[in-house]
Amino acid sequence: MEESILAAQPTALVSLDTPEFVHPAAHRIPVNNYPAQMQPIPPSRMFLIRDALKAYKEKYGTQAVTYDASQGDGGASLPGVPTHILQKALEIQLEHGSAYDQPWGTVRFRKSAAEKYWGLQPASGWTTENIVFVQGGRDGLQKAYAAMIALGQGRVGDALVVSRVPWISYNWGPYAAGLNVLLAPGIPSEGWRFTPESIRECATYAAQEGRQIAGLIITSPDNPTGRTIPLDEQILLARTALEAGYPFVLFDWIYHWVTDQGPSDINIILQAFSPEDREKLIFLDGLTKSLGASNIRSAHLLAGKEVVKYITSQASHGVIPTFFSQAVAIAAYEEGFAKAAASIIGPCSESRKMLRERLQRENIRHITGDGYYAFIDCTDYINAGREKLDYLTDSEGLLKHLGENHGLAVVPGVYFSQAGANWIRFSYALPPEVTAGALDRLFEGLNALV
């Protein structure tokens, strides 16, 4: 009996006394020392913001009023997820149980997202199977980068194109995944916006460096500038990228509900492309900003079938998303998202109106669109204050001045890129009365430098 069992087994290629690779030689990863040559990825410098406000309280007393206009967290600065949504999510969780789910999430989440949230139309060509749940926006982005590498050019070291002044994590997240981040041409008078010419120029520049393009990220509303890109412009940019040989375009729409004109219609984008080109589009959205659900870690990607298949396969050996974060989204989507997110959208809208009026009245150059942020040019104030404060070399010095002397926290534009070195990101994800107080402190601090 034992001999027959052994005879039925495939002939071993390697002795059991010899080490054996799992993967065949043709599919083994080539030895490459690029990780040893990488620049160390820096931790967040948000501690400097906390230190500046701490210094202010040490100077003026622990009860001194401070304003934090650095926040990108509606769960901290605004009411966050409504209690009844969390309670409903708990009921859904209890009903669902605690067994493993699929790496792409659950059928109920996909159905809720496709029908209640996005309203996917048959003409879009996409269905529930084009949706994969991820454990927050950063998890979604890292999975998207991996898919871009594997399904696009099939190699590390190529370029991911972002705006000239990108979100901090766009500088480092793709880099950790093996992509070199390429800042597109752009000028401040146009909000460092992408143009068809700048997208084509990036492809030419990368080729001169012996690299190809892995993808393009379009963020609207933008972080840090707040600039909102109309859908027809997003379509033009994406089409230009695909025609220039970009294998993927990722639309980061994490802020698109926090706008004056309402959320973006994904059907318009999808129906503007052929079925073949739709497979090259990836969309990121979630609850982090629009519902103030930062620590819920609830986001999802919509993408072509091959991208979803790849991400699902990888997630089955990596991060399988939790159900409770899906349950929060389901509860919000089934209630009607505009109603569920009103406690975030409303205060931001009121603060945005106040902010625009004040910045225009002060005659200071700025960029405002939608989302959470305004980007403000403080060049004249930094130049004027350098004789008074030797540390005032760029907007990081301005953070120190505003925080320590005026109890206001902002994010220095130099943290995003050198193109924004004299700018600051001002968050208005705050109640309107707090935004008003923060603006008073801002101009009190700036005028003290003149």
Identify the pLDDT of residue 45: 78
Identify the pLDDT of residue 43: 84
294 and 137 Cβ atoms separated by less than 8 Å? no
Question: Looking at the predicted structure, is the pLDDT value of residue 365 above 60?
Answer: yes
Q: How would residue 46 be classed by pLDDT, with cut points 50, 70 and 90? A: confident
Residues 56 and 93 in one domain: no
pTM above 0.85, yes or no: yes
Residues 124 and 169 in one domain: yes
368 in any annotated domain: yes
Identify the pLDDT of residue 49: 84
Residues 150-178: pLDDT tens digits? 999 999 999 999 999 999 999 999 999 99
More confident position, 199 or 50: 199
How far is residue 352's CA from residue 357's CA, in Å, rounded to a whole number? Answer: 9
Residues 239 and 153 in one domain: yes
Count: domains in the chain: 2
Residues 355 and 288 in one domain: no
Percent of the chain at pLDDT exceeding 70: 97
Residues 251 and 280 in one domain: yes
Owner of token pair 């190809």: 212
Identify the pLDDT of residue 356: 97
Tokens of 380: 């004249």
Owner of token pair 């998202």: 337
Q: How far, in Å, are 97, 139, 187, 316, 326 from residue 319 at the CA level?
A: 19, 9, 39, 7, 14
Out of 39-48, 220-229, 244-253, which region has the weakest mean confidence (pLDDT)? 39-48
Domain range enclosing 142: 83-337
Residues 237 and 357 in one domain: no
Nearest C-alpha neighbor of 245 from the set 213, 206, 273: 213
Ordered DSSP codes for 131-188? EEEESSHHHHHHHHHHHHHHHTT--SS-EEEE-SS--HHHHHHHHHHT-EEEEPP--G
332 in any annotated domain: yes
29 in any annotated domain: no
Give the 3-state secondary structure of residue 373: strand
Residues 152 and 179 in one domain: yes
Residues 269 and 351 in one domain: no
Name the CA dihedral angle for 395, 397, 399, 405, rounded to a multiple of 10 degrees: -140
98 in any annotated domain: yes
Residues 274 and 352 in one domain: no
Residues 358 and 270 in one domain: no
The enclosing domain of 353 has a CATH number of: 3.90.1150.10
Identify the pLDDT of residue 9: 53
Residues 376-409: pLDDT tens digits? 999 999 999 998 999 999 999 999 999 999 999 9
Q: How would residue 8 be classed by pLDDT, with cut points 50, 70 and 90? A: low
Residues 123-137: pLDDT tens digits? 999 999 999 999 999
How far is residue 119's CA from residue 256's CA, in Å, rounded to a whole number? Answer: 15
Identify the pLDDT of residue 12: 55
Q: What is the mean predicted confidence (pLDDT) over 298-312?
A: 98
The enclosing domain of 112 has a CATH number of: 3.40.640.10
Residues 78-96: pLDDT tens digits? 999 999 999 999 999 999 9
- Average pLDDT over the chain, rounded to whole? 95
